[in-house]
Chain A
Amino acid sequence: MSWQFNRHANESHLSQPFSVSFSPSQRIAITGAGIVSPLGLGWEANECSLAADRSAFRPVDFFDTTGLIAKTAGVVDLPAESPFHRISPHKQGHVDRGTRMLLLAIREALAQAGRQGMEGIDALVIGTSAGAMPLGESYFENARHDSGRIPSQLSRAEHYQPQRQMNSIADEFGWRGPVIIVSNACASGANAIGWAADMIRSGRCKRVLAGGFDALARLVFAGFDSLRALAPSGIPRPFDAQRDGLALGEGAAVMLLEAEDARQSDALGDVAGYSTATDLHHLTQPDPEGKAAIRTMTSACAQAGVSPAQIGYINSHGTGTPFNDVAEASAIAAWAGDVVATIPVSSTKSAMGHLLGGAGAVEAVICLMALRGQWLPASLNVRTIDAAVRFDLVQKFRTARFEHALTNSFGFGGTNATLVLQRRTA
C-alpha cells in the first residue's frame, strides 16, 4: 500500500501564506478600537469620563444580591434598542448582554477603521471568562426546578456556549471566519489581543479583530463575594494602604489589528510588545513578589525594544485587593529598578471596576486613548498611598508626553499578561 502527501493542494483561506514574514519584534498596527464600559459607550464617552475623574458604581439590580456583602458594581447602561439589525428578533432573543456589549465595541472599532463590516477580517479573537453565564444559570435553575423535559432548555444549552454567541456577531455582519475564544480568567482580554498579534506576526493572518468582554453574572458576583474579594463599601481603592477589595464591573473592548504593511498611515497606534507567563504560587493569590509579572513586563518591553525608562504610563492590573496590589507594586519596582519613581501608574478599575475577561482589552484601549490624547487617567479613591508603592501613582487626570504605555493583566490560575502599546504620530 502506498500513499503520497500532496503539499500543493488547495487550502482554505487561513492556510494561505501572507506576505508578512515572521519577525518577533514586528509591531502590529491598531487601525480601530471600540470600548463599552461602565463609564460610557464608546471612545468619546470614556475619554470624557476619565478626564473628569468620574467613577461609575451603583447597586446591581438585574440579579438578587440578598445575602451578599457587596451590592454594587460598575454597570453598563446598554441602549434600550438592540444593536443587532440583521439577525431576526427571534435570534436576538438568544443574545446575551455581554455579546451585545461586544457587538457595540466591534461596530465602533470597524467604524474607526473606516470599515462598514467585517469583510477582510481574517479572524476574531475574543477573551472572556464567563461567556454567556446568565444563560447557563437559567438552564441550571430550570433543570433544578423541573425534572421533566423542558423544550426551551435546548436553546439555553445551545446559546450558553460562547462560540454560539459569537455566531450571532458573525451573522450580523454576514461574515464567516474563525473565532478563537481565549479564557484565561481576568487576563483573557489581554491574552486575546496578544494571541491575535501573534497570528499576524506569524503571517497566518493579516487583519484580526481582537478584544474581550464580560457581563456581570450572579454566579461570578457571588463567587468573588464568597472569596471576600469585593470591597464591602463598594468603592475600590487600588494602591491605598487601607484598600479592602475590588468592585466588579462589565464591559467590552476590541481592537482591529493589522499587519504592519497594511494601512499604516491610518493607524491609531501599535501593539509593540506582548508576553504571557504563569504564576504557580496559588490558584487565586499572586506570588507576593510578582515574579511572573516581572517576566512578562521584561519580555514584552524587550519585544517592543524599549526599556522601563521609556514606558510613559502603566495601566496596572490594580484590583484593589490587599494581595494583588502589593504584588504588582513589588513587581513594577523590581522590573523598573532605579527609574521606578518616574513611571506614572494608575488603575482605571478604581473608576469602572474589574471587568474580568473584558478588563485587559478595555485597559489596552484606555492606554491607546491615553497615548493618542497624551493624558494619564487617574487611580481614584486613594487616601493614603500604600508603602509598597514606589512608582508615581497618578491620582488625578493629567496631561503628559509619552510614546509607550504598558498594561498588566493577571488572572486566576496564575495567568499573567503584559501588552506594550506605542504611539503613532502623524
Chain B
Amino acid sequence: MNLEGVHIRGIGAVSSAGWSAGDLLRTVREGNPLPAVNCARPGDERTWPCPVRLVPPPPPPDKTARHPRMRRSSAITRYSVAAALGALADAGHDPAAPPRGLGILFVMMNGCVNYTGRFFNEVLQNPAQASPLIFPETVFNAPASHIASFLGIDGVVSTLVGSPNTIVEALDTAAFWIRSGIVEECLIIAAEECDWLSAEALTYYHPKLIATEGAGALLLSAKSTGPQVCAVTGPLCYTTWDERAALLPDLAAQTRAKFMGDAILIDDRCGIDRIDRAEQAAWSGAHWQAVRSPKLILGESMGASSALQLVLGALEARDTHQPVVVSMPGANTAAYACVITP
C-alpha cells in the first residue's frame, strides 16, 4: 500500500469515553476500564449477564439536531457526524462550510442495527404496518448518505462492510483518490452502534466480551503536515483462527522491520487470553515506549474498533512525536498493522 504524501490532517472520535478525540486519548491513557451496565432486552429478562459500555449523552448543545436528515437518524449516524465534524474542526475547517472536493469513505461491520431490529420486528408482527420511514434507515449506506447531506458533499461517497480493519483498505483507496485528483481531501469514518442483539452476539463468542459503540474519523489530505500512515503491513489473509495465529508473527516482524527505535504500540487486545494470546505473543520481545489497549478500557466496538485505534495512534504520534504501531489482527479475514509517524 502506498500512503506516501498523504497526511492525517484532522482527527475526530466518539466513544464510550465521550464525544471527542481528547476524551478518547485521556481515558485510554488513564487506563481504567469504563464502567459497564447490563444491556436492556425487550421481552423476557435475559438469563445471563450481558454488559455494555454505551456512548454517554452528547454534551449540549447538539449542533446536528436541526438538520432535516438528523431528525430520525440512528445513533450510528449521530456518532459519525460528530466524529466527522470533530475531524474537520481539528483540521481548521469550518464545519459549516466544509472544503470543496471532499470525499467520504465509510466503514462498518454491523451497521444500523437498532432500526434494522425495530423494522424487522414490525415486519414479523404485521408487515402491512411496517414503517416506510424506518426501512431506508436500515440500509448500510444510510449513515454515509446522511453525513454527505449534512456536509453538502455530492462527490465520491462510499461504504465498505467488513472486519473493523477494512478501514486500512479505505485509507489506501482514499490516498489513491487524493493522488489522482478524484478528491482533494477524504474523510474516513468507521462507526458502530450497539443494540441488545449485537451485545448478546458478542457474549456467544465469549461471556466476558463487553460491547461498546462509537465512531472514529480521520481527515486525509495531501495539503498539510501532520501524522502520516507511513507503512502498512498486510493484508495477511486468513479464514481460520489457526491461520490467523500463524500469520501474526509475520505481521509483527514485517512491521518492526519498517522502523527502528522506540515506538508506542496500540494493540487490539480485549482482555480474554484465548483471543489475545497470538497477538500478544507476536508483539512481545520488543521494547515499547507505551502500550495502549483501547478495547480493555472501552470495550469491543466492532466495526469502529480499528478506527478508534488509528485515531488514538494519530493522537499519540502528534502529542508524543513518537512513531506509533497500530496492530489490527482482525477477527475473521485479514491482519493489518501500520506505523503512524508524527
A: which residues have CB within 8 A of B? 1-7, 9-12, 14-15, 17, 22, 24, 66-68, 128-129, 131, 136-137, 139-141, 143-144, 147-149, 151, 153-154, 157-158, 161-164, 166-167, 170-171, 176-185, 191, 195, 198-199, 202, 204, 218-219, 222-228, 276-280, 283-284, 292, 411-415
Contact = CB atoms under 8 A, between A and B. Distances in A.
B47 A149 contact: yes
A144 B201 contact: no
Interface in B240-279: 243, 254, 257-263
Given A1-B261, A6-B260, A163 B145 contact: no
B283 to A, nearest CB: 16
B341 A182 contact: no
Contacts of A151: 204
B39 to A, nearest CB: 12
A278 B145 contact: yes
Given A12-B234, A148-B47, A278-B154, A5 B259 contact: yes
Q: Which 7 A-B pairs have the closest CB atoms?
A: A3-B261, A413-B145, A223-B135, A157-B201, A147-B44, A183-B140, A154-B204
Nearest to B259: A5
Given A9-B254, A15-B2, 15 more contacts: A4-B259, A6-B257, A7-B231, A17-B2, A141-B124, A154-B204, A178-B235, A179-B237, A182-B158, A219-B120, A224-B135, A226-B135, A278-B157, A411-B141, A415-B158
B262 A3 contact: yes
A309 B261 CA distance: 61
A167 B333 contact: yes
B258 A5 contact: yes
B117 to A, nearest CB: 6
Interface residues of B, number: 90
B167 to A, nearest CB: 12
B130 interface: yes
Contacts of A140: 117, 120-121, 197
A190 to B, nearest CB: 11
B161 A284 contact: no
A409 B128 CA distance: 29
B121 A226 contact: no
Interface string B93-134: 000000000000000010000001101110110111011100
Contact of B158 (A184, A204, A219): A184
A170 B234 CA distance: 17
Contacts of B232: 11, 15
Given A179-B333, A226-B131, A5 B341 contact: yes
6 contacts: A2-B261, A179-B237, A179-B334, A278-B155, A412-B136, A413-B145
Contacts of B173: 195, 198-199
A164 B132 contact: no
B43 to A, nearest CB: 6
Residue from B126, B128, B205, B243 having most chain A Cβ neighbours under 10 A:
B128
Interface of A is mostly: mixed
B116 A219 contact: yes
Given A154-B204, A161-B109, A176 B238 contact: yes
A162 B108 CA distance: 11
Given A24-B180, A162-B161, A167-B239, A143 B197 contact: yes
B282 interface: no
A182 B160 contact: yes
Given A3-B262, A154-B204, A219-B120, A163 B332 contact: yes
B123 A222 contact: yes
Contact of A279 (B121, B154, B156, B260): B154
Interface string B318-338: 000011000000001110000
A67 B124 CA distance: 10
Given A67-B126, A176-B237, A202-B176, A414 B159 contact: no
B174 to A, nearest CB: 12
B179 to A, nearest CB: 8
Contacts of B109: 161
Contact of A183 (B161, B163, B263, B289): B161
